[in-house]
Amino acid sequence: MLAGNTHPWLLALTAVIPTVYASRRGLTSECSPVSFDIVATAENAILSPSYDPSNETSIINFINAMARGEVNPVVGFQNISGSFVINGIYCKPTKKVKKKRNALQILVHGITYNSSMWGGYHFGDRYNWHAYANGEGYHTLAIDRLGHGLNSKALDPHNVIQPMLQVEIYKELIQSIRSNTAANSLRKRFSNIIWVGHSYGSQIALPLARLCPNLTSALILTGWSSTTNLSEVQKFNLASASTLYPSRFPGLDKGYLAMADEALRAKMFYYGAYDPAIPAFDFANQDIVTIGEFAANAGPFGIPPAAYNKPVMVITGVEDGVFCAQPGAAARECEELLEKTRTDMFPGVPGRKYEYFAPRNTGHDLTLHYSARETFRRAHGFLDKYF
């Protein structure tokens, strides 16, 4: 286990129920829970007063109206400061690996997920990004984003848990790892930091790369492109997490949301070839998304990081209806969108440093499909050129 900022209750958790914790969170003997204490300040959005933050129906109606373009969700900006605990899972390369790299992959999940998705839940190494990356000589750190996973859910989901504060937190976290400051709970300095995102975790890489173009050494962006199908977002069928899962989220602020329809979630996130047991587990164990994450994302995510010139790879399933083609469409439709993503969002990245891959028979949650190993292989084949 890691020393330093690792919280005692986390250590106790893994000591008491190691088998369950390991299987669900993707832990092996080379993995440990870790916590970072981060101080950050950001200019967050002031959300429109047109909805009632204490009323679930009002919140849902506001999000749907925003997705339809009927309301401007942001009316101003304000500084938000604080000290935040970010929990995660740190995994070292396996002892038998031949190539040792001084490179850390930071794995960042999307909305209604947490760091456990990168371990493939309890469905084996076929879906475990840690296991594949560690076997290739990379260190991995899967973090729970602010308000997700093991992080505190006592924070304000309207005004605090928004994209720009998250960007500032991850900037401070990465800088601490690069310089090995007291805030670096890994107690190891990494000169090469690779951001690996999924969906919202990919989107967050854009403002981070724009504000600090030299902070990361490469980007692997999955379940994302520069084209978003907002009509799909309207199908999320959200409910307050405390309403949907009262035993898991008792008394949680109504601004913490989850997807209410199991069949619809499966249809949106899965397609083609996958284990049918995974969507059911996924729904029962889903995490949250906040009203602030939904409402304040347009500005931060829409500005290209023009100065960023490091390697970028985008990997998105052909049948990802949110960010690529609709189910049943020709693969080329998705590939054209992924080609377009470089000119749209990464004009400073030379063509030779940009690649994309669109796995067939694969929906939004591409690391939880049968094609996951091919996704892992393609991503690490790309990274092998630079690290």
Tell me what pLDDT residue 288 has.
97
Element at 357 (helix H, strand E): strand 354-357
Query: Any residues with CB less than 8 A from the CB of 381 and at least 6 apart, and which?
Result: none
- Give the C-alpha distances (Å, rounded to integers) separating 214 from 194, 303, 369: 11, 17, 33
Rounded Cα distance, 196 and 204, in Å: 11
Report the candidate in 195, 96, 202, 216 with the shortest Cα–Cα distance to residue 141. Answer: 195
Model confidence at 5: pLDDT above 50: no
Tokens 């400061």 appear where?
81
Q: In what order do the strands lie in the sheet with 289-290?
A: 238-240, 256-259, 289-290
The CATH number of residue 263's host domain is: 3.40.50.1820
2 located within any domain: no
66 located within any domain: yes
3-state SS record for 73-115: CEEEEEEEEEEEEEEEEEECCCCCCCCCCCEEEEEECCCCCCH
Give, to the nearest 10 degrees, the angle between helix 8-16 and helix 18-25.
100
Residue 307 corresponds to which tokens in the numbers above?
A: 């100065």
Q: How many CB atoms lie within 10 A of CB 56?
A: 16
Number of domains in the chain: 1
Range of 194's domain? 8-383
Contact present, 113 and 148 (Cβ < 8 Å): yes
Rounded Cα distance, 48 and 42, in Å: 19
Contact present, 371 and 362 (Cβ < 8 Å): yes
| SS3 (DSSP) at 31 | strand
Residue 179 corresponds to which tokens in the numbers above?
A: 């310089």
290 located within any domain: yes
Alpha helix segments (H runs only) across 234-288: 241-244, 262-269, 277-284
Report the candidate in 84, 87, 83 with the shortest Cα–Cα distance to residue 9. Answer: 87
Kind of pairing between the strands at 312-315 and 354-357? parallel
208 located within any domain: yes
Q: Summarize pLDDT for 45-89 with one digit per residue, the tens.
A: 999 999 999 999 999 999 989 888 899 999 999 999 999 999 999
Report the candidate in 353, 373, 337 with the shortest Cα–Cα distance to residue 124. Answer: 373
Rounded Cα distance, 4 and 161, in Å: 26
Rounded Cα distance, 153 and 172, in Å: 21
Tokens 């003997």 appear where?
29
3 located within any domain: no
Q: Is the dihedral of CA 196, 139, 111, 213 positive or negative?
A: negative
Mean pLDDT score, 175-196: 91
1 located within any domain: no
Model confidence at 194: pLDDT above 60: yes
Tell me what pLDDT residue 136 has.
94
| SS3 (DSSP) at 374 | helix
Kind of pairing between the strands at 256-259 and 289-290? antiparallel
Report the candidate in 199, 203, 218, 211 with the shortest Cα–Cα distance to residue 172. Answer: 211
Residue 337 corresponds to which tokens in the numbers above?
A: 């969108």
Q: Summarize pLDDT for 249-274 with one digit per residue, the tens.
A: 999 999 999 999 999 999 999 999 99
Residue 117 corresponds to which tokens in the numbers above?
A: 């998705």
Query: Any residues with CB less than 8 A from the CB of 164 and at least 6 apart, and which?
Result: 42, 43, 44, 45, 207, 296, 300
| SS3 (DSSP) at 207 | helix
Q: Indicate the pTM of the whole model.
A: 0.91
Q: Summarize pLDDT for 352-370 with one digit per residue, the tens.
A: 999 999 999 999 999 999 9
170 located within any domain: yes
Whole-number mean pLDDT of the chain?
Answer: 90
178 located within any domain: yes
Tell me what pLDDT residue 25 has.
46
Tell me what pLDDT residue 19 has.
33
Task: Compute the chain's Rg from CA coordinates.
Answer: 19
Model confidence at 326: pLDDT above 60: yes
Query: Length of the chain, please?
Result: 387
Report the candidate in 49, 44, 47 with the shortest Cα–Cα distance to residue 79. Answer: 44
Q: Angle at CA 140, nearest 5°, toward 139 and 143?
A: 150
Tell me what pLDDT residue 291 has.
97
